């Protein structure tokens, strides 16, 4: 079913497929927004002696990843996976501190 093909809400109050599709798209939007916040925090953390900030960035990106998993699209999930991989790689190179 296409996003623009909407079904009527049944008189019994059941949720239609269009409403479920909209909520799944909202999960993707939330995931992208959380991923962008994590990415903005990760940019200064890439500088020397600020690598400890990835201990804050990675959990934020994991929350975004959870929202992205429940979404019908993949872009938010992929953004958060990239932020997590960069953060983990930076922590491994810096010994977990730098």
Residue range 31-64, pLDDT digits in tens: 999 999 999 999 999 888 898 999 999 999 999 9
Indicate the SS3 state at residue 35. Answer: helix
Is 73 in contact with 31 (CB distance < 8 Å)? no
Q: What secondary structure does DSSP assign to 39-82, as a single string?
A: HHHHHHHTSTT-GGGHHHHHHHHHHHHHHHHTSSSSHHHHHHHH
Can you give the pLDDT at residue 14? Answer: 56
* 5, pLDDT greater than 90: no
CB neighbours (10 Å) of residue 91? 19
Confidence of residue 22 (pLDDT cuts 50, 70, 90): confident
Tell me the two tokens of residue 82.
């990239």
Cα separation, 94 vs 46, in Å, equals 10
């Amino acid at each position: 079913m296409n996003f623009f093909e909407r079904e009527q809400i049944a008189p019994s109050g059941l949720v239609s497929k269009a409403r479920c599709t909209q909520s799944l798209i909202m999960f993707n939007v939330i995931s992208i927004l959380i991923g962008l916040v994590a990415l903005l925090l990760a940019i200064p953390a890439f500088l020397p002696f600020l690598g400890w900030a990835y201990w804050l960035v990675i959990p934020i990106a994991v929350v975004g990843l959870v929202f992205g998993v429940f979404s019908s699209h993949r872009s938010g999930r992929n953004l958060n996976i990239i932020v997590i991989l960069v953060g983990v790689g930076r922590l491994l190179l810096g010994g977990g501190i730098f």
